[in-house]
Amino acid sequence: MRTSDSLRKTYGETLVELGKDNKDIVMLEADLGNSTMSSLFGNAYPERYFQMGIAEQNMASVAAGLALAGKVPFINSFAVFATGRAYDQIRSSVAIANLNVKICGSSAGLSDYGDGKTHQSIDDIALMQVLPHMTVLSPCDAVESEMMTKAMVNEKGPMYLRINRNDLKIVTDPQAEYHIGKMTEMVQGNDVVVFATGIMVQQSMEAAKLLEKENISVRVVNVSTIKPLDVEALQMYCEGVKAVVTAEEHSVIGGLGSAICSALSQKRLPIGIVGIEDTFGTSAENYSILLKHFGLEAEDVAKKVRSVLSVR
Amino acid sequence: MNYSQQTINELKRKAIQVRSNILEMIPPGKVGHLGGSSSIADVMAALYFHTMKVNGSDPKNPLRDRLIMSKGHAVLVQYACLVELGYFPREELSKVKTFNGMLQGHPDMDRTPGIEAVTGSLGQGLSVSLGLALGLRLDHSSSRVYTILGDGELAEGQVWEAVMAAPDFKVNNLTAIVDWNGVQATSTTKEIFPIENLEEKWKAFGWNVLVIDGHDMVQILDALDRAKTYTEGPSVILAHTVKGKCFPFAEGKAKYHNASMTEEEYQTAWSCIEKMKREVEA
């Protein structure tokens, strides 16, 4: 049962809950357990918690071995290290072999605001979604964090979960049924559809409110499974609209926007991408400063909607 | 430990058969990793035909021992063993590295029965093996995990992450074997990237270290048995070997790391096989 609005704490607590009955779940950590919240699992089941030290490459391949032995290993680190530092290990040991390894990229996007560009992931979705066999999940709140964590245990195959470090407003319905691949309409509208993921879901919902005052009707869809992308649902939500906007806390290259552009390439619809423009992050005293600086506020989404509507 | 002459001779015959299977896979005109496959052929014969619990007709038996070819490029020697145990039909040997064959250029667990992991990107196999060993231990399994590493491969930093980690977890169901042939893809390890004091290095990280002549069947069996009975943690066998062993034109030469033989060399190689057969029978 979810106890807070923290995505990472919910992730850790959910695994503790699941680990009670499912003895195959094992956790691996690279010395960031108090941030990733994998430490909760370690406290509950020390015999199934492997502290691998600051050695992410070894951690990823050890997880592959544990999966070969029938376990359900979760590897944990900050998103930059979990994906980038261990990229070839994930590619070679895990993804090619299609092993049941779950990767939790914590403090994703700019959410580790103080630590700066080395610790902020603007490329993790790109790295993971390009890998065949890999599922890429991006929860927009703690409810989804819980649902996704459960689904990751229930479904086989390599999966990447991208978790924001900060508490996010609950925007999804805790009672709604969840499955991997699900796309959810958050706001109804018919002029423009905004496909958003992660924190950009709440920003886009806010943008829809702003635009309502200008008589622009915006549909907001939460795309929390970036891969496999439900192309049918994507096309369905495009029906009747004049333009499309995508929104993500990630580089505009290789993320949700790229995936959607590619999926809608046969449609005659203008598409605008809201994301981080081909640049690395930076330190700031709080998260809001970064969201403003990198153009990830509600007003930025609204601006993009106005701009795609003006395309003729 | 004592091994009967009959056992030793039988394994020597197997090692000859393994080398002859390697030749069968790479006739003139076909490129293959002859050097690093033949250097570890005696150790592989000992593992597959004596030490390891494996069954070619039941490749996924949970009680089996596992072998991970971390130096995945030398997979020809593994195919050469697996075919003898009936993991796949003999016809597959001639189809190695072809579009319709079961035997890929590097180990592929989806395509080839008996292959336990995907390797080929060097430096990852020991870590995968450590994970397997930990998983098997959680299940109280008696299965053991064997990993074959190249000495050139030891330049990969990840190997040393795993070397550091394994003793911390006290895994005693893991045996690493280094094919210490001193030659890598383009030259000697001494010239490319010398790693001195190998024995001391593994010891310092907490491994049970056994140094042997990797072409002496008695020493190989003895080391594998000692590793099996060592209960304090992981063991490593540093096996002094000769790259291209048994094929004089290729011995100790980087050229045959991954090459195709000339017609003349190929004939020479087969006469070496015949000569070895005669020697064992005498």
| CA proximity to A248, closest of A164, A154, A181, A178 | A164
ipTM confidence score: 0.96
Q: Average pLDDT, stretch A289-299?
A: 98
pLDDT at B123 over 90: yes
CB contact under 8 A, A69 and B135: yes
Helix, strand, or coil (residue A221): strand
- In the predicted structure, residue A312 carries a pLDDT above the cut 90: no
Tell me which chain B residues have a C-beta less than 8 angstroms from the C-beta of A53: 164-165
Instruction: Answer yes or no: do B127 and A57 touch at CB < 8 A.
Output: yes
User: What is the average pLDDT across B232-248?
Assistant: 97
HSE at residue A312, side-chain half, CA atoms within 13 A, is: 0
Distance CA A258, CA A126 (A): 9
Cβ-Cβ contacts under 8 Å, A48 against chain B: 138
Q: Is any Cβ of chain A less than 8 angstroms from the Cβ of B139? A: yes
- Token pair of B54, please? 């494996």
Q: Which domains does chain A have, with CATH numbers?
A: 7-162 (3.40.50.970), 183-309 (3.40.50.920)
Terminal Cα distance for chain B, rounded: 25
* Interchain CB distance below 8 Å, B135 and A65: yes
Task: Mark yes or no for CB contact A58/B130 under 8 Å.
Answer: yes
Nearest CA in chain B to A57: B158
Contacts of residue A180, Cβ cutoff 8 Å, sequence gap at least 6: A135, A137, A148, A151, A155, A225
Contact B117 A98 (CB under 8 A): no
Distance (Å, whole) CA A178 – CA A169: 18
Residue A67 is encoded by which pair of tokens? 């999966």
| Set A13, A29, A56, A206: catalytic member | A56
Q: Say whether residue B70 is in contact with chain A using an 8 A CB cutoff.
A: no
Q: What is the pLDDT of residue B279?
A: 95
Residue B14's pLDDT band (cuts 50, 70, 90)? very high
pLDDT in tens, B32-41: 999 999 999 9
User: For chain A, what is the mean pLDDT?
Assistant: 97
- Note the pLDDT tens digit of each residue in A271-280: 999 999 999 9
Q: Give DSSP secondary structure letters for B163-189.
A: HHHHHHTT--SEEEEEEE-SB-SSSBH
The DSSP code sequence of A95-136 is: ITTT---EEEEES-TT-SGGG-TTT--SSHHHHHHTSTT-EE
Confidence of residue A311 (pLDDT cuts 50, 70, 90): confident
Torsion sign over Cα B87, B92, B98, B100: negative
Task: Tell me which residue has tokens 């076909």.
Answer: B30
Say whether residue B131 is in contact with chain A using an 8 A CB cutoff: yes
Q: Provide the 3-class DSSP secondary structure of residue A81.
A: helix
Interface membership of B7 toward A (CB under 8 Å): no
* pLDDT score at A32: 96
Q: Which position has the token pair 């406290």?
A: A43
pLDDT computed for residue A1 by the predictor: 79
Q: What is the pLDDT of residues A16-35, one digit of tens each?
A: 999 999 999 999 999 999 99
Token pair 């040997």 is found at: B93
Asked if B118 has any chain A CB less than 8 Å from its own CB, the reply is yes
Structure confidence at residue A101 as a pLDDT band (50, 70, 90): very high
d(CA B161, CA A51): 13
Q: Is the pLDDT of residue A58 over 90?
A: yes
Identify which of B117, B132, B162 has the shortest CB distance to residue A97.
B117
Tokens coding B137: 């231990």
**Cα–Cα distance measured from residue A24 to residue A108, given in angstroms and rounded to the nearest whole number:** 27
Q: What's the topology of domain B5-281? A: Rossmann fold (3.40.50)
Contact A62 B139 (CB under 8 A): no
The model's confidence at residue B1, banded by pLDDT at 50, 70 and 90, is: confident
State the average pLDDT over residues A85-99. Answer: 98
Nearest to B120 among A66, A89, A92 (CB): A92
**Residue of B115, B122, B127, B144 for testing the chain A interface, max A β-carbons within 10 Å:** B127
Q: Is the pLDDT confidence value at A214 over 90?
A: yes
Instruction: Please check whether residue A65 is in contact with residue B128, taking contact to mean a CB–CB distance below 8 angstroms.
Output: yes
pLDDT computed for residue A94 by the predictor? 98
Tabulate helix, strand, coil % of chain B (nearest 5): 45, 10, 40
Cα gap B114→B60, rounded to integer Å: 8
Q: Are B92 and B83 in contact (CB under 8 A)?
A: yes
Structure confidence at residue B212 (pLDDT): 98
**pLDDT for A278:** 98
| Interval B137-165: pLDDT, tens | 999 999 999 999 999 999 999 999 999 99
Chain A residues within 8 Å of chain B (Cβ atoms)? 26, 47-48, 50, 52-53, 55, 57-58, 60-71, 73, 88-89, 91-93, 96-98
Active site residue A47: no
- Between A58, A64, A73, which is nearest B117 by CB? A64
Mean pLDDT of A51-63: 98
Confidence class for position B282, pLDDT limits 50, 70, 90: confident
CB contact at 8 A, A199 and A274 = no
The answer to whether the CB atoms of A58 and B158 lie below 8 A apart is yes
The whole-number pLDDT of residue B192 equals 96
Rounded mean pLDDT of chain B? 97
pLDDT tens-digit readout, A226-273: 999 999 999 999 999 999 999 999 999 999 999 999 999 999 999 999
Name the minimum distance, in Å, from the CA of A69 to any CA of chain B.
Answer: 5
In percent, how much of chain B has pLDDT > 70?
100
% residues pLDDT > 90 (chain B): 99
- DSSP assignment of A13-38 equals HHHHHHHHH-TTEEEEESS-HHHHST
Structure confidence at residue B218 as a pLDDT band (50, 70, 90): very high
Residue carrying structure tokens 């590097």: B106
CA-based nearest residue in chain A for residue B163: A58
Chain B interface test: which of A61, A99, A133 (most B C-beta within 10 Å): A61
Question: Once rounded to an integer, what is the mean pLDDT over residues B170-199?
Answer: 96
**CA B142 to chain CA centroid, nearest Å:** 22
Q: How far apart are CA B161 and CA B165, in angstroms?
A: 6
What is the pLDDT, as a whole number, of residue B202? Answer: 98
Continuous H helices in chain B = 5-25, 34-39, 41-46, 75-84, 125-138, 157-168, 189-192, 198-204, 217-229, 263-281
Rg (CA), chain B: 18
Whether residue B124 and residue A93 make contact (CB cut-off 8 A), yes or no, is: yes
Q: Give the torsion through C-alpha atoms of A266, A269, A272, A273, to 10 deg.
A: -30
DSSP class per residue in A230-285: -HHHHHHHHTT-SEEEEEEEEESSSSHHHHHHHHTTTS---EEEEEE-S------S
Distance from CA of B162 to the nearest CA of A (A): 6
Minimal Cα–Cα distance from A31 to chain B, Å?
A: 14
